[in-house]
């Protein structure tokens, strides 16, 4: 029997009831409209889609950070619906970690790197926590960084520490929101290489979101396309070519990526 996906979202709906600056309701925004997503053990999935298509909301819904109207999130095939805080803390949170956009800026400026990593590792169930020095090594930083303050790190080093922090509980799935945003092409490639290395060495399943199809293509085994709160395409990366795609929008994405000459 094949094992269930590690993490699965079924028919997820999320609506935001936002308000305008004047305190008046500006109408509901349906950010997710029945999204299905499955992440198999050790799989590296990429999500692309235009701004506002619901990519970040999907990651947040999968981690119980967005208000889900209906649908469910399953861990190892078991619905997490109604899990209480203790069960979320003990079982869900250590397994599914999120790397937020601009993760480097999320480090607590009042703690040294070693303390940041130890604090994150404390979330791990008994015996699973990563040791701070080993975590730094996993992201290519020496143990000397344990004593640094976040303000003493370069942008790239901050990002690596944030990655080490996400790995501190030895998660089984890493969700990364736009880890390449705002980086120049060379640094972007370095981040891609780092993610691939960690994915391969740790067998860690990942769901990586980006605006940029060409970057995702270089990274992911499966590519999903979102548009207006819906997943319009989910294809193996090698099949992600115009002739095989089913939705006009994903075809447009590929054509924009490789202009016909």
Ligand X SMILES: Nc1ncnc2c1ncn2[C@@H]1O[C@H](COP(=O)(O)OP(=O)(O)OP(=O)(O)O)[C@@H](O)[C@H]1O
Binding-site size, Mg ion (CB under 5 A): 1
Tell me how far CA of residue 156 lies from CA of 59, 138, 218, in angstroms: 23, 15, 20
Closest by Cα among 88, 107, 86, 104 to 96: 88
Mark the segment that binds ligand X (CB under 6 A) among 54-62, 71-79, 192-200, 246-254. Answer: 54-62
Q: How far is the CB of 183 from ligand X (least distance, A)?
A: 15
User: Is there binding between residue 18 and ligand X (CB under 6 A)?
Assistant: yes
List the beta bridge partners of residue 9.
37, 73
Residues paired with 182 in a beta bridge = none
- Applying CB under 6 A, the span of 38-46, 53-61, 163-171, 239-247 interacting with ligand X comes to 53-61
Stretch that binds ligand X, among 51-59, 149-157, 233-241, 249-257 (CB under 6 A): 51-59
Q: Considering CB distances under 5 to 8 angstroms, the limit depending on partner class, which of ligand X, Mg ion, none binds residue 170?
A: none
| CB of residue 167 to ligand X, shortest distance in Å | 23
The end-to-end CA distance of the chain, in Å, is 48
- Which option in ligand X, Mg ion, none does residue 29 bind, with CB closer than 5 to 8 A by kind? ligand X
Asked if 51 and 211 touch (Cβ cutoff 8 Å), the reply is yes
Greatest Cα pair distance in the chain: 58
Token pair, residue 203, equals 């067998």
Stretch that binds ligand X, among 46-54, 71-79, 145-153, 217-225 (CB under 6 A): 46-54
Residues 198, 130 contacting (CB under 8 angstroms): no
In the list 16, 83, 92, 149, the residue contacting ligand X (rule: CB under 6 A) is 16
Footprint on residues 186-245 left by ligand X (CB under 6 A): 211
Smallest distance, Å, CB 144 to Mg ion? Answer: 34
Judged by CB under 6 A, the residue of 4, 34, 52, 140 near ligand X is 52
Establish if 249 lies at the interface with ligand X (CB under 6 A).
no
d(CA 67, CA 6): 21
Among 31, 37, 96, 220, the residue binding ligand X under the rule CB under 6 A is: 31
**Residue 97 CB, nearest approach to Mg ion (Å):** 17
63 binds Mg ion (CB under 5 A): no
Rule CB under 6 A: say whether 34 interacts with ligand X: no
Q: Note whether 179 and 195 are within 8 A (CB).
A: yes
Shortest distance in whole angstroms from residue 67 CB to ligand X: 9
The SS3 call for residue 17 is strand
CA–CA dist 165, 160 (Å, integer): 9
CB atoms closer than 10 angstroms to residue 184: 9
Tell me the C-alpha to C-alpha distance, in Å, between residue 109 and each of 103, 115, 188, 226: 13, 11, 25, 35
Q: Which residues bind Mg ion (CB under 5 A)?
A: 56
Q: Which residues bind ligand X (CB under 6 A)?
A: 16, 18, 29, 31, 49, 51-57, 211
């Amino acid at each position: 029997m094949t094992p269930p996906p590690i993490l699965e979202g079924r028919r997820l709906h999320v609506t935001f009831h936002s308000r305008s600056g004047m305190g008046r309701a500006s109408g509901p925004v349906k950010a997710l409209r029945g999204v299905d997503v499955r992440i198999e053990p050790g799989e590296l999935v990429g999500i692309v889609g235009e701004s506002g298509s619901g990519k970040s909301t999907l990651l947040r819904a999968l981690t119980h950070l967005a208000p889900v109207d209906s649908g469910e999130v399953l861990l190892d095939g078991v619905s997490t619906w109604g899990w209480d805080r203790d069960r979320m803390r003990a079982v869900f949170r250590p397994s599914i970690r999120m790397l937020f956009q601009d993760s480097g800026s999320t480090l607590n400026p009042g703690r040294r790197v070693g303390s940041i990593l130890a604090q994150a590792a404390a979330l791990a169930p008994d015996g699973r926590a990563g040791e701070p020095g080993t975590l730094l090594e996993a992201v290519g930083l020496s143990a000397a960084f344990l004593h640094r303050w976040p303000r003493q790190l370069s942008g790239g080093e901050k990002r690596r520490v944030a990655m080490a922090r996400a790995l501190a509980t030895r998660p089984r799935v890493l969700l990364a929101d736009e880890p390449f945003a705002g980086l120049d092409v060379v640094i972007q490639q370095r981040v891609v290489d780092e993610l691939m290395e960690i994915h391969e060495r740790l067998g860690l399943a990942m769901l990586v979101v980006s605006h940029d199809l060409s970057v995702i293509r270089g990274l992911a085994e499966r590519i999903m396309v979102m548009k207006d709160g819906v997943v319009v395409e989910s294809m193996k990366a090698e099949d992600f070519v115009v002739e095989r795609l089913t939705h006009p929008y994903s075809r447009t994405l590929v054509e924009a990526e490789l202009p016909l000459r």
